[in-house]
Amino acid sequence: MMVRRRKNLTLREIAELAGTSKSTVSRVLTNHSSVSPETRARVQKVIEERGYQPNFFARGLAGGPTGLVAVLVPEINSGFYAEVLRGMDDVASKNMAHLLTSIAHGADDLFDLWRSFCREGRADGVVVVAPPRAFFRKGIRKLELPAVLCAARPPEGAQRWQAVDSVTVDNEKGFTALLHHLVQIGCRSFIHVAGPQDVFDGQERRNAFEKFMEAHVNLSGQVIEAGFNPEDGLHAAESYLERSDVVPDAFVCFNDSTAYGVLESLRRRKLEAGRDVMVTGCDDEPAAQSLGLTSLRMPMREMGRECSRLLLERIRVRNREIPPRNIVFGLELQIRSSSLGHRRNRW
Amino acid sequence: MMVRRRKNLTLREIAELAGTSKSTVSRVLTNHSSVSPETRARVQKVIEERGYQPNFFARGLAGGPTGLVAVLVPEINSGFYAEVLRGMDDVASKNMAHLLTSIAHGADDLFDLWRSFCREGRADGVVVVAPPRAFFRKGIRKLELPAVLCAARPPEGAQRWQAVDSVTVDNEKGFTALLHHLVQIGCRSFIHVAGPQDVFDGQERRNAFEKFMEAHVNLSGQVIEAGFNPEDGLHAAESYLERSDVVPDAFVCFNDSTAYGVLESLRRRKLEAGRDVMVTGCDDEPAAQSLGLTSLRMPMREMGRECSRLLLERIRVRNREIPPRNIVFGLELQIRSSSLGHRRNRW
DNA sequence: CTGAAAGCGCTTACAG
DNA sequence: CTGAAAGCGCTTACAG
């Protein structure tokens, strides 16, 4: 029969049951070395039996680890951060950690959140998801808390941030593979529907596009600025198509969402994606498959998992130095009907 | 010039600055009545000037409010809970509250999370998003924490849960309007691609469908069971179309995701949605528009906001009784090309 | 209306 | 290796 109880046990009670003192129980809890194997085993047995979980307010107050991991996300594609959160929770929950989620409105808000978490020490560590460049400009005197960047790397100038871990994707490799594929099926003229340029992925993808175009003089490439929503893609495509007399061979979009907008714009002009013009996205959201949209798979959940792993490791070793790490995931090309057609080469 | 400081101030310091005692400062913080207007004003001034924020570990430990709101979500459509989270954070952050997010794997896990939050009192309140029926079966002796259900209402039998607030949508009204629209454009035979039946919306939408069919004897309706993912929709449609010799006039899907799968299945058979057969979803995800999918707009963010509002109100009044509330949002019909065609009536 | 004091459940020097 | 004790920063009876 289960032991039922209204309240959690306390350290004191565990100590009594194990015939030792609070201090010792605390030491086994915090993995302190100086506990004899026998006492440790005895205490651990009681802890297991009674399903004891330390009160995290008391822990936090006394200066111990709190089991809280803060996640700061800006207002981005909700499908993206939802998956990152899920990945983070996957490994956090296995390590008795909980996610403290905050959604920022703009770079300033994001920075305020960051600072308040650092000052107050509410969490053991922080993951910042896809921060805009402006986030790094504000000086942070010192990194008081273990931190990991998700889908971003600290920019060159940001001295203080260089020591931070990051989890990113290889945008250049991914976009290069994608462009090669498009060239292979006959595309020669490209429009890159660029994402926000103050965000890491937006910038890297554009760079990859431009680099590819520079390296292939027989191709023509142009960049039009959009954003990250379908509406942004729609507006960008509309205004481009309105003032242009030729349709490019391919629209290479920053992400799936902007590609949706481009598809809409094409539909209005009775142009068929995959036949009259190729269209590609990035992220590989669930809907991309239904739309037959060629895309690059962004391993969001895996990225979230990795963020938690890196952060928890740093938390576990406390202040001991770990050199900064950058984990890079690949973007897997998913070819679908929106880039399957064989358009005749007009060049 | 800003006052810079590494650490937060403490109650004691505020008290000294305001020339009073910790107790009194604490009383103004907790909105206790028995403080003279003058002292209150003096204390509040100091608090504002120094930007004091109480340490929430100390608060939690001492039994005060912690400013933490727990959100428990099962493994559902990530776009859905992402938006709910955002809505919740919108109003929570304005009230100095933070979201403690946990993602459950299955009903048991969800219940375990629930219980652990109740036992440990980590949060001031809990929002449970779209819990499956099984969640309610487990006996909870007493609701120790203010709670709100999102996209669910407690089932009849669950005594203990009747007192809980809930935020839902009017599935019956929404689906009735949708079906009327389909009838109007000539549909007579319907397939409902049903969602999970252990989830509130899944059940209500199916009920609405069946009720409508019973009320209109000239229509034929059939239910096929799916789930909530594109793959579920695909499999359901595939297995139906394989063994059936007639194509229905319309597929009425539980949500957009399952509709994506149905669309895929139709595409494989060279059937065009909106011409050969109508297809509808529910949720109105961003991609639905690009797909030209008729849908019902689920006001996810608004629902999240309302959840926070209800919960924070309960938290604020402490134990004082508030009768249980059920906030019901409407589902707005978005007619798109997947249900625009005029199919000839075969009846 | 106000203050001194106890207590919430931990962690961590400190002394053995 | 172990325990008694101080302290983290609050809230809340309790006594005025």
- Tens digit of pLDDT for each residue in B41-51? 899 999 998 88
Of A236, A230, A240, A287, the C-alpha closest to A261 is A230
C3 C1' – B82 CA distance, angstroms? 48
Given this model, what pLDDT does residue A142 score? 64
pLDDT (mean) for B296-317: 94
Rg (CA), chain A: 25
Q: Annotate B191-258 with DSSP letters as a single string.
A: EEEE--TTBHHHHHHHHHHHHHHHH-TT-EEEEEE--SSHHHHHHHHHHHHHH-SS--SEEEESSHHH
Please tell me the distance in Å from B147's CA to the nearest CA on chain A. 18
Per the CB < 8 A criterion, the answer to whether B224 and B244 are in contact is no
- Whether the predicted pLDDT of B132 surpasses 80: yes
D6 C1' – A62 CA distance, angstroms? 11
Q: Suggest the residue from A101, A231, A265 to mutate for an interface test with chain B (most B CBs closer than 10 A).
A: A101
* CB A2 under 7 Å to nucleic chain C: no
User: Consecutive 10-residue runs of chain A (347 residues): their mean pLDDT?
Assistant: 56 90 91 84 90 89 90 87 94 92 91 81 90 84 81 87 93 98 95 96 97 96 94 94 91 96 91 93 90 95 97 82 92 94 49
pLDDT band (50, 70, 90) for residue B114: confident
pLDDT (mean) for B63-74: 91
Given this model, what pLDDT does residue B77 score? 78
Contact yes or no for A120 and B53 at CB 8 A: yes
Q: Which two tokens stand for residue A70?
A: 């803060």
Looking at every residue in chain B, the average pLDDT score rounds to 89
Name the nucleotide with the smallest C1'–CA separation from B43: C2
Burial class (CB in 10 A: 0-12, 13-18, 19+), A246: exposed
pLDDT (mean) for B124-142: 85
Q: Angle A14-A19-A23 (CA atoms, 0-180°, nearest 5)?
A: 65
Given this model, what pLDDT does residue B4 score? 41
Of B339, B301, B259, the C-alpha closest to B88 is B301
Q: Which chain A residues are within 8 Å of B8, Cβ to Cβ?
A: 119-120
D8 C1' – B123 CA distance, angstroms? 20
D15 C1' – A123 CA distance, angstroms? 39
- Whether the predicted pLDDT of B5 surpasses 50: no
* CB A7 under 7 Å to nucleic chain C: yes
Q: Which two tokens stand for residue A216?
A: 């292939």
Given this model, what pLDDT does residue A4 score? 41
pLDDT (mean) for B11-19: 90
Is the model more confident about B121 or about B186? Answer: B186
pLDDT band (50, 70, 90) for residue B143: low
* CB B62 under 7 Å to nucleic chain D: yes
Per the CB < 8 A criterion, the answer to whether B164 and B143 are in contact is yes
Residue B1: strand pairing partners: none
Q: In what order do the strands lie in the sheet with A326-329?
A: A326-329, A165-169, A147-150, A125-129, A68-73, A98-103, B98-103, B68-73, B125-129, B147-150, B165-169, B326-329
**B224 vs B222: CA distance, rounded Å:** 7
Q: Which residue in the set B58, B85, B122 is minimally distant from A61, CB to CB?
A: B58
**B10 vs B40: CA distance, rounded Å:** 17
Which bases of chain C are under 7 A from a protein CB atom? 1-5, 7-13
**B247 vs B277: CA distance, rounded Å:** 7
Name the nucleotide with the smallest C1'–CA separation from A35: D1
Q: Hey, is B100 helix, strand or coil?
A: strand
Q: Suggest the residue from A57, A88, A93 to mutate for an interface test with chain B (most B CBs closer than 10 A).
A: A57
Given this model, what pLDDT does residue A139 score? 65
Is the model more confident about B118 or about B250? Answer: B250
Q: Do β-strands B98-103 and A98-103 pair in parallel, antiparallel, or remain unpaired? A: antiparallel
pLDDT band (50, 70, 90) for residue B344: very low
Contact yes or no for A101 and B85 at CB 8 A: yes
Contact yes or no for A56 and B120 at CB 8 A: yes
Task: State the count of interchain CB pairs (< 8 A) between A and B.
Answer: 143
Q: Which chain A residues are within 8 Å of B285, Cβ to Cβ?
A: 287
Query: Cα separations (Å) of A292 from A119, A146, A177, A191, B283?
Result: 48, 41, 18, 19, 21
pLDDT (mean) for B101-118: 87
Q: Suggest the residue from A11, A66, A290, A337 to mutate for an interface test with chain B (most B CBs closer than 10 A).
A: A290
Residue A101: strand pairing partners: A71, B99
- Whether the predicted pLDDT of B7 surpasses 90: no
Q: Which residue in the set A101, A120, A260 is minimally distant from B287, CB to CB?
A: A260
**φ/ψ of residue A306, rounded to 5:** -65, -40
Name the nucleotide with the smallest C1'–CA separation from A18: D2
**φ/ψ of residue B265, rounded to 5:** -60, -40
- Domains of chain B (ranges; CATH) run 11-54 (1.10.260.40), 68-169+300-330 (3.40.50.2300), 171-298+333-339 (3.40.50.2300)
Q: Where are the alpha helices (DSSP H) in chain A?
A: 11-18, 22-29, 37-50, 56-62, 78-94, 106-120, 134-137, 171-184, 200-215, 230-243, 256-268, 286-291, 300-316
Q: Which residue in the set B82, B229, B290 is minimally distant from A230, CB to CB?
A: B290
Please tell me the distance in Å from B65's CA to the nearest CA on chain A. 12
Contact yes or no for B100 and A99 at CB 8 A: yes
- Whether the predicted pLDDT of B302 surpasses 90: yes
Contact yes or no for B89 and A99 at CB 8 A: no
Which bases of chain D are under 7 A from a protein CB atom? 1-5, 7-13
Question: Which residue of chain B is at minimal alpha-carbon distance from A265?
Answer: B290
pLDDT band (50, 70, 90) for residue B56: confident
Q: Which chain B residues are within 8 Å of A261, Cβ to Cβ?
A: 290
pLDDT (mean) for B202-229: 96
**φ/ψ of residue B92, rounded to 5:** -60, -45
